[in-house]
Amino acid sequence: EVARILGKLSGTAEAKLSSHLVETRAFLFTQKGVLTLKKTLLEVLQPFSPLPLDGNMIERPVHAHLGDLALPCFPFAKALRKSPIAIAEEIAAAVDHPLIHRAEAQSGYVNFFLERSVVTASLLHTILGQSSTYGSSDRGNGGVVTIDLSSPNIAKPFSMGHLRSTVIGNAIALLVEKCGYKPVKINYIGDWGTQFGKLLTAYRKWGNEAEVKKAPIATLLQLYIRFHEKAELDATLNDEARAAFKALEDGDSSARALWEWFKMESLKEFQRIYDLLGVTFDSYNGEAYYNDKMGPIIEELTEKGLLVESDGALVVELEDGLPPCLIKKSDGATLYATRDLTAALDRKTTYDFVKSLYVVGNEQSLHFTQFKKVLGKMGHAWSADIQHIPFGLLLKDGKKMSTRKGKIVLLEEVLNEAIALAQSTIETKNPDLANKKDVAQAIGVGAIIFSDLKQHRRHDIEFNLASMLQTEGETGPYVQYANARAHSVLRKAGSMRAFTVSEVNDFEWAVVKLLEQFPDAVKRAADELDSSIIAKYAVDVAQSFNSFYGNVQVLSDSEDQSYRLALVHCVTIVLEESLRLLGMKSPREM
Ligand code: ARG
C-alpha cells in the first residue's frame, strides 16, 4: 500500500520521502485513527522522548504564519530546568524529518511547517480510498446505544420540542454509528396517562367521528381544550375522566377501541413528518406498551424496601434535597416515572446497552435525575449509563414557540413552508433543474435541521425560516451549495485521473488541513454527543472550499488540474459525509 502511494507521489516529494520515513512507519493516515497528523508529529519528536509529550499538547495555530502545528514548550520548563524559549530553540534546531519542511522557535513555541505536498498526496489518497468511511472508527465495538428520541404524545400536536428531539437524536444516532456503536432509536410514544381519560370523556360528550377523521390531531386537541374549560365550571367532569381512564387501564373494550383509533390517526400524522425529515425508528414501544409490565418493578421496589407511603401514594424517597419520586397515586394509577423505570429495565434486558440516552427538553431534567437515582437505589449499577440529553427551546421573536391553546404552530406546515420557499428560489435561479421537488425538500428540510444543530443543543434557538434558507452565512443551504458547486466542477472535468502533487498553494493547503481534521471532529462530536461540532466543521470546509474555488483555476491545462480535481472530489466526500451525519441530504445540483 505504501509503495503504491509512494509511486504516485511527485518526484520531489518522493526524493524527500526517504526510506527513513517508511522505516519509522510515520506514513500518514493509513490507520483508521484520529489525530493522525498530531500522532505523526509525536513520532517526529521521539528523539526528544524524555519530554512528557502527549497529542493533546499539540496545537493547530489559527494563523498560517505560526505554522501548521505548534508545540508550546512551557509544560517542560520545570522538568528540564530550562526556559521554554531555550527548549523551543533546541527542538527547532534539532528536528530533521522528511515530513517537516521547517521548524521555527517563537516565544516558547515550536512552530512546525509541514511538507505540504507529502501530506496532501497522502491525505487525498486516503480519503479517495476510504470514501464515505473516512473518519469512521470501530471504537464502539458494536456496543448498543439506545436513543430515546422524538416521543410525541398522541392526540396532541407534534411540538417544536419534539422536532428538536427528533433532529438532535437522529444526528446522535448517526454519529455513534460512525464510531462503531450500534444505535437503537426508540420513539417512546406518549400514549398513556390520565389525560386519555379526559379525552375519552370529551369525545363521548362532544366529539364526532367524521371530524376526527378529517383532522385528527387538531380535533382531538380542541376536545381536550374544551374539556379543561368545562371542567373548571363542573368538577364532576374530572371524576368522569378518572373513571374513563380506569376503564381504559382495566381493558374496557369500548375505551380501548377509541384509544386505539386516536392513536392510529395520530401516528399517521406523525409519520408524514418523519417522512419529510427522513427519520426512521427501530422501536415505537411507548408508554402504553409498559402499562401491563409495571408489576415486577413495583414488586422489586417493595422487596428492596424502597417504597414508602406518603398521603396514600407510594413514593421512593431520594437524598440530596431531591423531591421523592412518585410511583403510584392514591387511586392506584401509575405515573410517567413508573413507566419510564419499567421501560429502562426492559431496554437493558432487550438490548444490553452500553449507553442509554434520552433526548428530551431541559424542563424534564428533574424527572431524569429522579428515575436514574431510583434505579441506582435498586442496585442497578448500569443506571450510570443512562444519560439525559437536554436541549433548549425554539423561540419565535424571543418567545417560546408553543403548540398549546390556539397558538398552534403545526410543524408540518412549517416544514412545507420551508420546502415551498426553497422551491420558489429554485424556480427563479435554476428553473431547468431536474427533480426540483426532491431538491427543494432536501434544501428546505435541511435548512431547518442545520439551524437546529449548528449551535450547542443547550441553547435556545430563534426560529426564522428566511434566515435559515439563506445561501450565505452559516446555513444548511450554504454547505449544500458548496458541495453542489464542487460536483459541477467534477462533472465538467469528466473522468478522474491519477495525480501527482508538486506545489500546494495557501488556498489548497487550507482545504487540505481542514479535511485532515474530519476524523478528529467526528471523534470529538461523538465523545461530547454534540453534532454542532460537525455542523461548524462543515461550514469551515465549505468556506475554505469557496475561497479556494474563487482564487484558484481548477479547470486548466496545467498539470495541476488532476491533483486539484482530486482535492475537489475529497471535498465532496467530506461535505456529504458531514451532512449525512447531521441527517441532511446533499443534492449534487441545486
Ligand atoms: N412524551 C414526552 C413528552 O412529550 C417525552 C417522552 C420522553 N421520553 C421518556 N422516556 N420519558 O413530553
Per-residue pLDDT at 44 = 77
153 lines ligand 1 (CB under 6 A): yes
Structural domain ending residue among the three candidates 114, 143, 165: 114
What is the distance between the alpha carbons of residues 272 and 25, in angstroms, rounded to a whole number?
53
**DSSP H stretches of helix in 179-214:** 195-206, 209-214
Residues 6+ apart with CB under 8 A from 351: 144, 146, 184
Going from the Cα of 428 to the center of ligand 1, the distance in angstroms, rounded, reads 42
Structural domain ending residue among the three candidates 255, 276, 297: 276
What is the distance between the alpha carbons of residues 171 and 532, in angstroms, rounded to a whole number?
10
What is the distance between the alpha carbons of residues 484 and 478, in angstroms, rounded to a whole number?
10
Choose one of 150, 159, 188 to mutate for the ligand 1 pocket test, by most ligand atoms within 8 angstroms of C-beta.
188
Residue 172 lies in a domain: no
Q: How many domains does the chain have?
A: 3
- Please tell me whether residues 462 and 564 are part of one structural domain: yes
Going from the Cα of 243 to the center of ligand 1, the distance in angstroms, rounded, reads 24
Residue 129 lies in a domain: no
CATH number where 466 lies: 1.10.730.10
Per-residue pLDDT at 397 = 82
191 lines ligand 1 (CB under 6 A): no
Asked whether residue 413 carries a pLDDT value surpassing 50, the answer given is yes
Cell numbers given for 546: 469557496
Residue 574 lies in a domain: yes
Share of the chain above pLDDT 70, in %: 92
Which ligand 1 atom sits nearest the alpha carbon of residue 364? 12
Ligand 1 atom 6 nearest Cα = 151
Taking alpha carbons only, the member of 3, 100, 2 closest to residue 47 is 100
Span 33-46, average pLDDT:
68
DSSP-assigned letter for residue 322: P
Ranges 32-46, 191-205, 554-568: which has the least confidence: 32-46
Per-residue pLDDT at 50 = 65
Ranges 26-40, 132-146, 365-379: which has the least confidence: 26-40
Per-residue pLDDT at 54 = 77
157 lines ligand 1 (CB under 6 A): no
190 lines ligand 1 (CB under 6 A): yes
Asked whether residue 18 carries a pLDDT value surpassing 90, the answer given is no
Asked whether residue 31 carries a pLDDT value surpassing 90, the answer given is no
Ligand 1 atom 3 nearest Cα = 152
Going from the Cα of 190 to the center of ligand 1, the distance in angstroms, rounded, reads 6
Provide the terminal-to-terminal Cα distance of the chain, rounded to the nearest Å.
38
Confidence of residue 403 (pLDDT cuts 50, 70, 90): low
Give the three-class secondary structure for 307.
strand
- Please tell me whether residues 429 and 556 are part of one structural domain: yes
- Higher pLDDT pick, 544 / 56: 544
Residues 6+ apart with CB under 8 A from 590: 426, 430, 433, 439, 443, 477, 480, 481, 484
- Please tell me whether residues 106 and 199 are part of one structural domain: no
Ligand 1 atom 5 nearest Cα = 151
Structural domain ending residue among the three candidates 229, 253, 276: 276
What is the distance between the alpha carbons of residues 396 and 409, in angstroms, rounded to a whole number?
11
- Higher pLDDT pick, 24 / 406: 406
Going from the Cα of 188 to the center of ligand 1, the distance in angstroms, rounded, reads 7
Per-residue pLDDT at 6 = 35
Contact 85, 77 (CB under 8 A): no
Going from the Cα of 280 to the center of ligand 1, the distance in angstroms, rounded, reads 17
Instruction: Provide the domain limits for residue 217.
Output: 193-276
Choose one of 340, 364, 371 to mutate for the ligand 1 pocket test, by most ligand atoms within 8 angstroms of C-beta.
364
CATH number where 107 lies: 3.30.1360.70
Per-residue pLDDT at 53 = 77
Please give the full DSSP string across 74-130, using - where no structure is assigned. Answer: GGGHHHHTS-HHHHHHHHHHH---TTEEEEEEETTEEEEEE-HHHHHHHHHHHHHHH
- Please tell me whether residues 213 and 71 are part of one structural domain: no
Per-residue pLDDT at 79 = 79
Which ligand 1 atom sits nearest the alpha carbon of residue 367? 11
Contact 507, 547 (CB under 8 A): yes
- Please tell me whether residues 575 and 440 are part of one structural domain: yes
Residue 351 lies in a domain: no
Which ligand 1 atom sits nearest the alpha carbon of residue 189? 1
Query: What is the enclosing helix (H) or strand (E) of 72?
Result: strand 69-72
- Please tell me whether residues 109 and 204 are part of one structural domain: no
Asked whether residue 17 carries a pLDDT value surpassing 90, the answer given is no
Per-residue pLDDT at 36 = 67
What is the distance between the alpha carbons of residues 312 and 525, in angstroms, rounded to a whole number?
47
Per-residue pLDDT at 24 = 30
Asked whether residue 74 carries a pLDDT value surpassing 50, the answer given is yes
370 lines ligand 1 (CB under 6 A): no
pLDDT digits (tens, 9 = 90+) for 288-339: 999 989 999 999 999 999 999 999 999 999 999 999 999 998 888 788 999 9
What is the distance between the alpha carbons of residues 22 and 126, in angstroms, rounded to a whole number?
16
Chain-centre distance for alpha carbon 370? 26
Choose one of 360, 366, 389 to mutate for the ligand 1 pocket test, by most ligand atoms within 8 angstroms of C-beta.
360
Per-residue pLDDT at 401 = 76
- Please tell me whether residues 437 and 577 are part of one structural domain: yes
pLDDT digits (tens, 9 = 90+) for 456-489: 999 999 889 999 999 999 999 999 999 999 999 9
531 lines ligand 1 (CB under 6 A): no
Which ligand 1 atom sits nearest the alpha carbon of residue 361? 12
DSSP-assigned letter for residue 495: S
* Beta strands at 109-114 and 100-106: parallel, antiparallel or unpaired: antiparallel
- Please tell me whether residues 462 and 558 are part of one structural domain: yes
- Please tell me whether residues 428 and 535 are part of one structural domain: yes
- Neighbouring C-beta atoms of residue 290, cutoff 10 Å: 22
Going from the Cα of 40 to the center of ligand 1, the distance in angstroms, rounded, reads 46
- Please tell me whether residues 92 and 204 are part of one structural domain: no
Span 16-30, average pLDDT:
36
Per-residue pLDDT at 49 = 61
Residue 9 lies in a domain: yes
Residue 127 lies in a domain: no
pLDDT digits (tens, 9 = 90+) for 206-218: 999 999 999 898 8
- Please tell me whether residues 82 and 198 are part of one structural domain: no
Asked whether residue 14 carries a pLDDT value surpassing 70, the answer given is no
pLDDT digits (tens, 9 = 90+) for 92-140: 988 888 788 999 999 999 999 999 998 899 899 999 999 999 999 999 9
- Please tell me whether residues 69 and 210 are part of one structural domain: no
Residue 565 lies in a domain: yes
Residue 465 lies in a domain: yes
